[in-house]
Structure 1
């Protein structure tokens, strides 16, 4: 029988348990993405609490493309020393830390008119209605190299790995999507062509960091609308990523703020679950490929998580909002107190002062 509190390999990382803090935009950096004392404290508390692996909030890879206020930067070498301090803090508590990187693109409305926002095609993002600049080949190369250069900085900063964000309608996801990607060149049309941008990013990152550095990819299970990326396509993408050497895949979805209303709905033949929204999708993928699968979304009950661990091939389980409400949750569960997390999944933790639980854990203001 597999247990949640056992040493487990994730790529080349040895993780003390199967819980991870999934990437969370904390909204607490300086204006240009530098770390603050509040952020150092948040990550120290997460590491203290016994979370096996922490995935940072997503960091922007080019200075001119900051998709949200208060998000981390990794766009030049000035960040390396402060991230060395961060990774040292986390490692002091035997926790591991991976930096997530993304090009946000048209998913947000932050600083519109003040920046060029790239997109595969001039198609409005469905939630923001923002239209980006269709990328020329030189733009594509610029972003590919930006991902790779960011990866090298991440490695030099002492992180245990990198997660490339290919979900949530950010730029990579848009290239994968037949709805957003209307290109007629080698980056559009067939799934092989739509995958090309992601694969070129991965290959360039791997070239920069070498074979031993752990690389994760975050993917949307399905776009959950007619004409979008389907689950059958996502399965094929996962198989290709395993083939080229990706170390693990995180399965998620693009249902921010809509999860409760979508529970029970069926997309591509599978149902959104109340706890572990994307479990049915992650379970199928975990049966079809042989690298670790991570999934996220609505987990609160350790008994249910443990049952899923032993009834599927899913390896790791991500939590975010429950850890905002109850920073010591993993330590509590490990001690034998298996009551469900107190988090209400109300999403009131997103505030203008930063992301913190406004109901149960109001100490960070």
Structure 2
């Protein structure tokens, strides 16, 4: 391929041991929660086939468990049971038929799996729990180690039988093998603890056993954390010594460099770094490991991961010599055809991941199948084709009312299906409540989502009418075959006695000068908006105190992001008071009830109070249209106030809803 062609480095082939990837973009292993009774499912097949069809060079199947006490949740997939071979074979056949290589990641999670579902006992290097709420694992003895090694070998044999092209040994993310390598989780005083050489002994044994089992003609690589980002844990200085040490002992066909440890701290939040993170520090990790390998005489391909959102970023990483291939998990969740569309020059059609973590990490944490805010059919590929891939429908006249996330998605999908679409927006801009979110710099990536939707509306020829207040008479006169009501919700002004400055969150974001120097925030939602606003107001130089009636804060966000927010809020001296309800504010004294005792605390020094409650939806127009027997469907917050994740999904499905037969 000519070096003058776009993305020439990223799209060039790469030899990985005995394999040749057709390009240097791969989908790294990431938990989907698609498993069924610990076996791969048709949902897995459809999901990975869509990404292989989208042009990716290779796919690494998620965390295949090697032992019964590493299974965890029921959706986790096992590799030690031969029943996995046939369903895996269907997946590998489908992926390879689309031209992508298919690898499987094999793993023992160690102390992270406490046996709640399977009634097993967790194993670890030392009896140190991974979080304050976890139980200590049982420290492994030499018989346990042999059992785990055998589990890896049995799993590898099954994956070979299932047609996998290669295997990635998971030595990252704070799971069992990293638990032995890290001085934070390994406090042993035998041959497997203490010095780096001792801590590396068991992971190296697993790797060597796998190579002996697979032979030199089969692709075997490792995934490793370049930095745990936690005091007392593994850092890059030690990891860049570890990788060459492993390579000297056992042939490694690739090194997939990630970061973090599965520890309930800031470290875990780095693993799926959201839009608030600067990704530059993560990019240095594979570069340093690659440099050490080359200095030691190894030309092993080194992979990079973490929030690459387009081939432009991947191409720059590879061209600079910092990595040989780039993994894009969330980017492929958002846009399965990111490679194919990039090759075709269709860049404005790519849904670039915005790093919101709401559908991926958020669902993962709840043991639900992962989803995507900007790609509502992610994980549903076995049920839905992309609208553009379907035969054009008999054109109907569609009226979408409201230009927020639900209305934008509904209009885009309806037009892509071949319908004649008009969108009415009451203001002079599109985006709805997302326009408030991106007033906060650390949530500004939402602009990219709205810009994608606007570009699609323009490309599809959708008629947009601004500054239009819809009413039942005007809607009826329009004569639509379908009305999609996506008028959103309204901010609820909380009733709190007193004459002090009381603002809603949108008011505070739009006019922060009204807040003064010391701000009290009373939150009943536990949502992303509050979490982001706390940091935003602190960044503006204000003293911020949060009061919540619950026993924790940000209870509707994901720990994968909140652990990083907690660290940043601590650095900014944001105070958090749980089990507290604000009762009054007169501008001088804030009265707060301690819900654990019923005592009233009288606090002085606050210049303003921001009171945040759930939004409300006005059903008046919807009911009027229903009573007039007009063909109306609700979508998004107009149906029931939720987040942009639910709004976009409902907008998508409203556009796909079948029309009544004549």
Tell me the TM-score normalised to structure 1 length: 0.91
Aligned to 2:491: none
Relative to 1, partners in 2 of residues 1:262 and 1:171: Cα closer, same or farther, differing over 3 Å? farther
Q: Among residues 16, 23, 32, which one is paired with 2:22 in the alignment? A: 16
Report the Cα offset of residue 256 of structure 1.
4.2
Report the Cα offset of residue 313 of structure 1.
4.2
Check whether the contact 2:275–2:356 (CA below 8 A) recurs between aligned residues: no
Quick check: 1:135 aligned with 2:144? no
Q: Among residues 284, 287, 290, which one is paired with 1:283 in the alignment? A: 287
The superposition leaves residues 291-335 of structure 1 with CA deviations (integer Å, 9 ceiling, x where unpaired) of 110010010132222122111241110011111111111111111
Check whether the contact 2:52–2:95 (CA below 8 A) recurs between aligned residues: yes
Residue 58 of structure 1: SS of its match in structure 2?
A: strand
Relative to 1, partners in 2 of residues 1:361 and 1:144: Cα closer, same or farther, differing over 3 Å? same
Relative to 1, partners in 2 of residues 1:226 and 1:364: Cα closer, same or farther, differing over 3 Å? closer
Aligned to 1:333: 342
Quick check: 1:91 aligned with 2:105? no
Aligned to 2:12: 6
Report the Cα offset of residue 182 of structure 1.
0.7
Alpha-carbon separation, structure 2, partners of 1:312 and 1:91: 28
Check whether the contact 2:171–2:223 (CA below 8 A) recurs between aligned residues: yes
Matches for 1:195-206 after TM superposition, within 5 Å: 195-206=200-211
Aligned to 1:29: 35
The superposition leaves residues 334-363 of structure 1 with CA deviations (integer Å, 9 ceiling, x where unpaired) of 112345752121112232540121332336
Aligned to 1:362: 377
Aligned to 1:188: 193
Alpha-carbon separation, structure 2, partners of 1:91 and 1:127: 43
Report the Cα offset of residue 44 of structure 1.
1.2
Check whether the contact 2:63–2:105 (CA below 8 A) recurs between aligned residues: yes
| Higher deviation after alignment, 142-151 or 2-11 | 2-11
Q: Among residues 327, 340, 362, which one is paired with 1:318 in the alignment? A: 327
Alpha-carbon separation, structure 2, partners of 1:227 and 1:234: 13
Alpha-carbon separation, structure 1, partners of 2:80 and 2:199: 25
Aligned to 1:229: 234
Q: Extract unaligned runs of 5+ from structure 2.
A: 261-266, 294-298, 381-662
Alpha-carbon separation, structure 1, partners of 2:312 and 2:108: 36
Aligned to 1:349: 359
Alpha-carbon separation, structure 2, partners of 1:291 and 1:96: 18
Alpha-carbon separation, structure 2, partners of 1:113 and 1:66: 8
Check whether the contact 2:274–2:357 (CA below 8 A) recurs between aligned residues: no
Residue 103 of structure 2: SS of its match in structure 1?
A: strand
Alpha-carbon separation, structure 2, partners of 1:60 and 1:364: 21
Relative to 1, partners in 2 of residues 1:37 and 1:183: Cα closer, same or farther, differing over 3 Å? same
**Larger relative contact order, structure 1 or 2 (CA cutoff 8 Å, min sep 6):** 1
Tell me the TM-score normalised to structure 2 length: 0.51
Computed over aligned residues only, the root mean square deviation of the Cα atoms, in angstroms, reads 2.0
Quick check: 1:47 aligned with 2:52? yes
Check whether the contact 1:108–1:128 (CA below 8 A) recurs between aligned residues: no
Report the Cα offset of residue 213 of structure 1.
0.8
Check whether the contact 1:60–1:75 (CA below 8 A) recurs between aligned residues: yes
Check whether the contact 1:326–1:361 (CA below 8 A) recurs between aligned residues: no
The superposition leaves residues 39-72 of structure 1 with CA deviations (integer Å, 9 ceiling, x where unpaired) of 1111111111111100011111112321334121
Alpha-carbon separation, structure 2, partners of 1:112 and 1:354: 17
Check whether the contact 1:106–1:128 (CA below 8 A) recurs between aligned residues: no
Aligned to 1:253: 259
Alpha-carbon separation, structure 2, partners of 1:251 and 1:137: 29
Check whether the contact 1:302–1:338 (CA below 8 A) recurs between aligned residues: no
Check whether the contact 1:324–1:361 (CA below 8 A) recurs between aligned residues: no
Aligned to 2:167: 162
Alpha-carbon separation, structure 1, partners of 2:310 and 2:138: 44
Check whether the contact 2:221–2:252 (CA below 8 A) recurs between aligned residues: yes
Alpha-carbon separation, structure 2, partners of 1:261 and 1:334: 26
Check whether the contact 2:71–2:118 (CA below 8 A) recurs between aligned residues: no
Report the Cα offset of residue 129 of structure 1.
3.5
Aligned to 2:652: none
Relative to 1, partners in 2 of residues 1:260 and 1:34: Cα closer, same or farther, differing over 3 Å? closer
Alpha-carbon separation, structure 2, partners of 1:217 and 1:301: 24
